[in-house]
Amino acid sequence: MMKKILLSLSVFALASAAAWGLSPTASLAQTTTAISSLQAGDLIRGQNFSAVYYYGADGFRYVFPNDKTYFTWYSNFDSVKWLTDADLGKIQIGGNVTYKPGVKMIKINSDPKTYAIGEGGALRWVSTESAAIALYGSDWNKKIDDVPDAFFSNYSRGEDIEVASDFNPANETASATTINHDKELQSAALILIQNNAYSFPTLTIKTGRAIRFENKDATKHTATADDLSWGTGTLNQGDTFSRYFNTPGTYTYFCSYHTNEQGTIVVE
């Protein structure tokens, strides 16, 4: 399944939920983690901004739209790693986390349908009450969360559930071992900028994989599309920029500071 860039980004504000056991003042006592030490799947936050994010295998951070979404994946905040606010700001946002498959059903105010969640955030309409009872018990109507309309675009439409055999909540939950797995995130293809050149003058990738540019030189560089449709902006030494190319084609680019630096990305 092609990786879907999610819309309607939001901040998961833990500071507003004191009952969760975190407070802004506690941040001053925490040891911060360097970006270079992060591992795919880490939970991260800044020192003074208490939003918690998921660090994806692609190098992006993913937003938990609210506490309900978070607690379908995790039971506490014990493993959250703290970054300096400056380092957190260097990690680009990739989109929103969706509910863990199989755990709960969801609905929105503008749609009377109730949906189970399948792999990759697929909305599976539970079309009959008998199916809902068979899947989630006689109290199925107490296992439904309302999701704001703005976040519904994070999900995709899956096949309808007409009978209980169409869907197995336990199997769906067990299969979604991590958010990386659920979103089918993979490591980004790395293009280093060093010695006034791109490490891969031509790089071929499959759709659904990100490209990550990293400047290793002491001088400034960019990767700027020939048609100016996209660009990294100025990258100082150590700076990075990641981007998805979800449409097959050939993408040529150059360095705005050194026009002899040119590269090509082929997306299949």
Per-residue pLDDT reduced to its tens digit, 168-195: 999 999 999 999 999 999 999 999 999 9
Cα dihedral 123→129→130→133 (10° resolution): 80
Per-residue pLDDT reduced to its tens digit, 52-97: 999 999 999 999 999 999 999 999 999 999 999 999 999 999 999 9
Report pTM. 0.83
The C-alpha atoms of residue 259 and residue 103 are separated, in whole angstroms, by 53
Collapse the DSSP code of 69 into the 3-class scheme (helix H, G, I; strand E, B; otherwise coil) and give the result. helix
Please report the DSSP string for 160-194 in residue order.
-B-SGGG--HHHHHHH--SHHHHHT--PPEEEEEE
Amino acid, single-letter form, for residue 114 = T
Q: What is the pLDDT of residue 28?
A: 47
203 near 227, Cβ under 8 Å? no
For residue 11, name the pLDDT band (cuts at 50, 70, 90): very low
Q: What is the pLDDT of residue 100?
A: 97
β-partners of residue 112 are: none
